[in-house]
Structure formats: structure tokens, C-alpha cells
Structure 1
């Protein structure tokens, strides 16, 4: 039961943070709406997340073991980032705009993967998120962190598959500014909740 709770917690937290990183998801949404290279892009995003988050879990654990004070630094930096991002989400919710999903069409696989690689590996929000997730995972102990990590990996699989393969069916829905307003509001609540949790933990 405890393992299932950790997996569920990692899944929910992972989806909240992954959904908040807009550039990567928006690009995948556009390619999905054009039905271009969706399996390859979904696989790339998922594998990248699994590798980056896994490295964060291992790396943060080593830092905490050797330099416990580093946990405090990461905790407060992470909390500040989450609160700031949450406030930004609420501001966007107050001024919803239709997201452009038409984009360019007919691009090759190499270009699509290169663009996605830049959006994934050069995104500072992504690295901040993964450092935070590594810290949250290690808070569950040597064994519990890996069950939490399983949930985080599941979040990547679920989210990127839903965006990539489900984007064609969502085309009408996400041209409505109200849909983005709801999403930004939910993301804002999640971010503020996680930020408060880091401060209080």
C-alpha cells in the first residue's frame, strides 16, 4: 500500500510539473495536430524525462549525503520558483489567449527531433523542475524514492502520450481560450501547493 501511495504521489506531482513546462508540450501539440512524427517525438520526450529525472534522483541523493546544507538551498530555490511560476499561471488565467496550434507543416523527422531536443534539454524550467523532483523523491528515503520515481516516469509516459496521440481530438477544445484558462488555474494551484509544501517540510 505504501508503494502504491508513493507511485500515485509521484504520478500526480510529475504530471503537474510536466504540464507546467509549456514550450515542449506546445510543440508536441502542434506536431500532433499535423500528425507529424508523433511516435518518435513522444518517445524522445518520455525517454529524455526518464533519464533527466533519474539523474536528478541519483545526483541530489549524493549531494544530500555529502552536503546536507545543499538540501536547504535547493528547497528554498525550488519553493521560490514554484511560487513564482504559480503566480504567473494565475496571471495567464486572468488574460487567456488562444494558443497558436497551426504551426508550420511538412517538416522532416530530423528537424522535428532537433527542435524538440532544444526545447527539452535547453529549457531552464525543465532543469529546475527535475532538481526539485529529485529532492522530493529523496525525501522518501533510499527505497521509497525509487517507487516515487516510478510514478514520475509514469507521469511522463501518460502526459506525452496524451498530448501527442490525443492532440488531434483536442484541436477544437484547445482553440478555446477558456480551456487554457482552466489549465493555467489548475497548474497555478498545483505549483503554489508544492511550493508551500517545500517551505513547510
Structure 2
């Protein structure tokens, strides 16, 4: 059980940081659009990648180092695009229309955007595969238990964030609040992208 709680604690502490994925889940929750789908994609992806880290961290760091640059530049490009999209939404005020409950996004669009925000974000792999995987190495005889704890943390966090966001809906009933949220999301995306690009020349 110690491995379970350590896995839970490490995973929840990493995933709670504001990032592209969390910002997207929060916005979907506020808009009440395809929340269950988005939460499922994020949580299942986390569980799968944590499983990869727990079982294959040694091999990946030694044999697949070339993937780092691919993930880094691909992720930075997507984050720049998504950030620009958020700034455009803030400029036009289109985000405020979503608070009224209008269905403006198909489930296919929500799923594809969620997959992109998740799988094109290098920090996702750093947190789940590398960091969580490295900690799991301390529990060679309890890797399954460790993975269950880390995966449980992901499901708990995303369900709470996605479905709990609706209680903030009154705050986002005004156009100004949506503009502030869009600007904040855009800034988060661009800051992360800048850090990724700067790390490539460090």
C-alpha cells in the first residue's frame, strides 16, 4: 500500500501544475461540452503512459533519446498555434458565447483537440514516463501497485477538474471573464512553448 500512496502522491503533484492539458479540460468543463469524453481521453492516456514509464523507463532513456527533439519541436509548434487561437478568441469575444450553453463544438473536434493537447505536449511524457517512471524504480517488487496509485491520481484529478468546473460557471457568465480566461490560457501555452524552445538551445 505504501507504493500505491507514493504513486498517487507523485502523480497528483505533477499533474496539478497548470498546463495545456489542464487548461483545455477546465475550459471544456466550463462550457459543459463533451466533458466525459475529454476526461476519459486524458485519464486513460495518463494511465497508459505511466504504465510505459513504470515498465520501460530504463530502455526508453537509453534507446529512444532521439524522440526528445521530435516531441519538443512538435509540441512547441502546437502550443504556439493553440495559444494564438486562445488570443484570437479573447480578441473576438467568441468564448463568451459558449457560456450560454450553445453547442458549437462537435465531439470529434473536442476529441482531436484533446488528443493533440495531450500527445503533442512533451511535458506530458516528461511527467508520466520519465519522472513517475523513475520514482517507480524504487519499488521493483510493487510496480503494479505503484502504477495503480499513479493512475488513480490521474482519474481523480481529471474527473474533479472536468466535472467540478461547472460550479465556476456563474463566474464565467460575463464576457469579460471569458476574455480573461482565454488570455490566461494563451499565455500559459506560449510560456510553455518558449520554455521548450529555449531548452533546445541550452
**2:42: which partner in 1?**
45
Runs (5+) with no aligned partner, structure 1: 71-99, 181-201
CA distance in 1, matches of 2:45, 2:3: 22
> TM-score normalised to the size of structure 2?
0.61
Residue 31 of structure 1 pairs with residue 28 of structure 2: yes
CA distance in 2, matches of 1:140, 1:24: 29
> TM-score normalised to the size of structure 1?
0.62
**1:152: which partner in 2?**
150
Runs of 4+ more than 6 Å apart:
none
CA distance in 1, matches of 2:11, 2:38: 19
Give the root-mean-square deviation of aligned CA atoms. Answer: 2.8
CA distance in 1, matches of 2:139, 2:167: 38
Q: 1:52 to 1:33 in 2, by over 3 A?
A: same
Runs (5+) with no aligned partner, structure 2: 64-89, 185-202
CA distance in 2, matches of 1:159, 1:22: 14
Pick aligned residue for 1:55 from 49, 52, 57: 52
Q: 1:52 to 1:169 in 2, by over 3 A?
A: same
Does the aligned pair in 2 maintain the 1:30–1:102 contact within 8 Å?
A: no
Deviation per residue, 1:15-40 (Å, 9 max, x gap): 11111151101111111111100111
Pick aligned residue for 2:113 from 112, 115, 119: 115
Greater mean alpha carbon deviation, residues 53-62 or residues 27-36? 53-62
Secondary structure of 2:16's aligned partner: helix
Secondary structure of 1:107's aligned partner: coil
Counting matched residue pairs gives 141
Does the aligned pair in 2 maintain the 1:12–1:155 contact within 8 Å?
A: yes
